Amino acid sequence: MGASFATHVLFLLWFFAATFSLSFLKTMSNEVSCNEKDKQALLSLKRGLTDPFNLLSSWSSQEDCCRWDGVHCDNKTSRVTELHLAYTGIGGEISRSLLELEFLNYLDLSFNDFNRTPIPTFLGSMGNLTHIDLSDANFSGIIPHQLGNLSSLCYLYLGSNFDLYADNLYWMSGLFSIQYIDLSSVDLHKETDWLQIMSKFSSLSELYLSNCKLDSLNPSLGFVNFTSLQVLYLSGNHFNHEIPNWFSNLSSSLLKLYLDDSSLKGKIPPSIFNLEELEYLSLYPNHLIGKIPESLGQLKHLTYLDLSFNSLNGPIPVSVGNLSHMRTLSLNQNQLNGTIPKSLGLLSNLEELYIQNNFLTGTIEEGHFKKLSKLKDLSMSQPQLFFNVNSNWVPPFQLEYVSMSSIKIGPNFPSWLQSQKSLGFLDMSMSGISSKAPSWFWNWTSNVEAIDLSDNHIEGDLSNILLNSTVINLRSNHFKGRFPLLSENVKVLNIANNSYSGPISTFLCQKVIRKNKLVVLDASNNLLSGELSHCWRYWQSLIHLNLGSNSLAGRIPYSMGVLVNLQSLRLQNNSISGDIPSSFKNCSNFGLIDIGNNHLTGIIPPWIGEMTNLLVLRLRSNEFKGRIPPQICQLSSLRVLDLADNSLSSVIPNCLKNISAMALPELNIQVFPFEPLKYMYGYVSYIENLKLVPKGKELEYARNLEFVKIIDLSNNNLSGSIPVEICVLFELRFLNLSRNHLMGKIPNKIGSMKELESIDLSRNHLSGKIPPSMSNLTFLSYLDLSYNNLSGRIPSSTQLQSFDALSYVGNPQLCGDPLPKNCTIEEESLKRSPTGSAEDDSINSSFYLGMGVGFAAGFWAICGALFFNRTWRHSCFKFSDDIRD
């Protein structure tokens, strides 16, 4: 669905771009009549091409070929000189008849689809070509050396053909007139002399070599001089060394230098700032260390500097104040320390300032913004800064985006905000504001699209205030009274962890609130009481609802089943009783159900198996009875199954192996399936957090919830044996079956669940030996097998002996390290008893396929897709670190 939609949009774009540019050209061309030879050549070209959108329909023999779409003739000789066929969707074969167009100098076939065919070698014989653009046209294979014969060529654009490569670039030395070269995404890893070759072109002005698999900038070269180079793109290569010194004399005319994401290491050489004309310099993200050289101030023409996502330390150089043309300054995500220089306030052209997530300290005052009258985006979040401006300060700027999270701004409300009339995004979370908002404030926010004041100590009663922002996060403050009034514009309201009290129905049933279009409501951790109301029909746009950790009582009303859009239902930690209403059958969008820690009774309804989008089912700590319905195995996306601490009886269903999210690695890009776990709106996201007990202790999961795979059935009345089929849940990380009445053996193949980090089977009646395969569980960091009837020697492995004896106590016949009991006697007695009883582990071994690559592939699929969004990329990398912590 998604893919075909995107394709349609693309085709439409093609269509519009093509029709527009073609008709534009047509009106431009003059009254000339076509040369017959050229016409025949073009007709022959057309016969070889596919034209899915019929954009070459004007190419008919009745018409003058100089008036055909995309064809340009010389207005004196009426010979065809230019072919503009970009974005037409054409493909197929490029006929040799093109050679007949002997006056052709301009050939643009970019943004089409030539089905991975090679670039035709005969193009090298079209000696009058000055402009070739074959970018993004699905050509593949080697770039023909014949192109090197085109001595008049000025433009050579071959970028974004993802299967194109060059064995070397020496053939290019014949391109005497070349000015623009784009070989982005062409595989050039075999060419180590690219730098020497390219620097010989005396008229080369722009060079694009992004993502070319280049692995060296030849730092050993003392001197590289591109005579006329103005633009150099080398992003996305993996140089893995320092920035060479030769950059300083690269070209006295260089305007733009992009070395993004190129694995550059070491310090920034001050010599790079000798490139006096430089306007754009981008070095993010790399592995650069050390200080930002004070000589930065030499780059008088700089308008754009991005050094973010490196490991730079030391202060922001004072000389930054000399960069009077600067419009965008990004130094975020480094380790910069010291105070922010006042000279920053001199950058009268600055529009975007990003210095968040460093270790900057000290006080920010009016002076820092003295001349910043054009500032629009200000992002400076970090914990050790104080924002100290006069209460009557009128800033020179009109901001659109402010992110000042964790800067100390309070205790007073920042009154300068009142002067800001264009603000769309305001984040002043964790900023120590502890007063009441001034009377103008809430009215003022009505044009601010997203506002985050969470984790302050703001007091107040918003009962009569109409809020209009799309996203409102007031979590963890001291708000009380009734809910605020919400315009239809409000989508996200987070008032968790405040002091709202009183019956929930007075909140949900207020007449004035009935027209809300709320998508996320989080009112957890307040003092709300009473029964869940019957007013749910006014809340049908909800997708995420969290009323957890209040004092709600009574039953879940049948009427709640009208919330058919709901993906996440959280009622945990209240005193709700009764059973799960059958009206929830309609709620097929449920992806997360957390109704744990209540007094719910009755059975787990079998129809829960129809909620096929369910990722998380947490019914923990209630009074559910009866068996675990086998229908639960139909929930193939389920990754959190927490039924612990209930009164469930009978056996563990042996179909759990059907829960494929726990059995199979995720190879596909799984972005949408996680919707129930988060809601994204522009720069902000609302992320579900969940309390689980993965390793004997309660932990809260939020961002990394999507990587959790847990089965917790502990503390019930389950009997029978552990189904051997469970062992194909190769992706399971946490398994807790403790405190039941389970009997029989631990399945022999438990060791094939390679991802297991935690196993708790304690306090059952399990018998037999500990399966030797358990020594294969290399991630195992929590194990409790205590109080069973296990016997024999504890298998030896790095892991199994690393746990202390408490993991094994209460099994009188168990012996060996780490238990104090010696094994000799036990083993003697076991030898005499019959061993090797019929193998009970009959597992469908086809599940073994593809094991092991799962985590890595799935993770990179997600993070790869999000790569272009900077904040996302960061959080992605960040939580990959958290995962195995």
Q: Applying CB under 6 A, which residues contact ligand NAG?
A: 30, 75, 102-103, 113, 115-116, 127-128, 138, 225, 227, 249, 252, 313-314, 337-338, 439-440, 443, 446-447, 449, 468, 487, 489, 751, 772-773, 776, 822, 824
User: Looking at beta carbons only, is 58 or 313 nearer to ligand NAG?
Assistant: 313
Cβ-based nearer residue to ligand NAG, 236 or 751: 751
Contact 239, 263 (CB under 8 A): yes
Nearest alpha carbon to residue 60 among 42, 78, 75: 42
Residue 701 near residue 765 (C-beta atoms within 8 A): no
Residue among 438 and 602 whose Cβ is closer to ligand NAG: 438
| Shorter beta-carbon distance to ligand NAG: residue 4 or 61 | 4
Q: Of 480 and 754, which CB lies nearer to ligand NAG in the complex structure?
A: 754
Distance separating alpha carbons of residues 747 and 732, to the nearest angstrom: 15
DSSP letter at 121 equals G
CB of 225 to ligand NAG, least distance (A): 4
* Greatest Cα pair distance in the chain: 107
> Please, what is the minimum distance in Å from the beta carbon of residue 554 to ligand NAG?
36
Q: If DSSP states are collapsed to H, E and C, what string results for 711-727?
A: EECCCCCCECECCHHHH
Structure tokens at 729: 């849940």
CA torsion 256→261→264→267, rounded to 10°?
A: 70
> How far is Cα 726 from Cα 745, in angstroms, rounded to an integer?
13
* Of residues 381, 390, 386, 425, the one with CA closest to residue 408: 386
Q: Which is nearer to ligand NAG, 308 or 621 (CB)?
A: 308
E strands, 263-325, are: 265-267, 280-282, 287-289, 304-306, 313-314
Whole-number Cα distances in Å, 534 to 505, 530, 537, 575? 8, 12, 8, 18
Sort strands 287-289 and 313-314 into parallel, antiparallel or unpaired.
Answer: unpaired
> Considering the complex, what minimum distance in angstroms separates the CB of residue 701 from ligand NAG?
29
Q: Nearest-5° angle of CA 127, CA 129, CA 135?
A: 130
Q: Which is nearer to ligand NAG, 107 or 708 (CB)?
A: 107
**Least separation, in Å, of the C-beta of 439 and ligand NAG?**
6
List Cβ neighbours of 845 (8 Å cut-off, separation of 6 or more): none
Task: Give the helix/strand (H/E) hosting 507.
Answer: helix 504-508
Q: In angstroms, give the least distance from the CB of 757 to ligand NAG.
A: 17
Query: With 0-12 CB in 10 A as exposed, 13-18 as middle and 19+ as buried, what is 464?
Result: exposed
- For residue 519, give the 3-state DSSP assignment: coil
Q: What phi, psi does 878 have (nearest 5°)?
A: -65, -45
Q: Which is nearer to ligand NAG, 438 or 530 (CB)?
A: 438
In the bound complex, what is the minimum distance in angstroms from residue 489's beta carbon to ligand NAG? 4
Residue 513 beta carbon to ligand NAG: minimum distance, rounded to whole angstroms:
16
* Cβ at position 122, least distance to ligand NAG in Å: 11
- Indicate the residue among 587 and 729 with the shorter CB distance to ligand NAG: 729
Nearer to ligand NAG, 772 or 818 (CB): 772
212-to-153, 162, 190, 198, 256 alpha-carbon distances in Å? 22, 10, 10, 14, 18
Question: How many angstroms separate the CA atoms of 538 and 563, rounded?
Answer: 9
Q: Residues with Cβ < 8 Å from 8, sequence gap 6 or more? A: none
Q: Which residue, 127 or 812, is less far from ligand NAG as judged by CB?
A: 127
Nearer to ligand NAG, 128 or 216 (CB): 128
Dihedral through CA 794, CA 798, CA 799, CA 801, nearest 10?
Answer: 40
Contact criterion met (CB below 8 Å) for 579 and 602: yes
For the beta carbon of residue 190, count every other beta carbon within 10 angstroms.
12
Q: What angle do CA 71, 73, 79 make, to 5 degrees?
A: 120
Sheet architecture: strand order including 551-555: 501-503, 527-531, 551-555, 575-578, 599-600
- The minimum distance between CB 395 and ligand NAG, in angstroms, equals 21
Nearest 5°: the CA angle 764, 779, 866 is: 120
Residue number, 186 or 604, with CB nearest to ligand NAG = 186
**Cα–Cα nearest to 690, from 577, 524, 855, 564:** 524
Count of Cβ atoms closer than 10 Å to residue 430 Cβ:
20
Q: How far is the CB of 470 from ligand NAG (least distance, A)?
A: 6
Q: In the complex, what is the shortest distance from the CB of residue 697 to ligand NAG, in angstroms, rounded to a whole number? A: 29
Smallest distance from ligand NAG to CB 153, Å: 12
CA distance 827 to 835: 12
Give min distance, CB of 239 to ligand NAG, in A: 22
For ligand NAG, the closer of residues 196 and 225 by Cβ is: 225
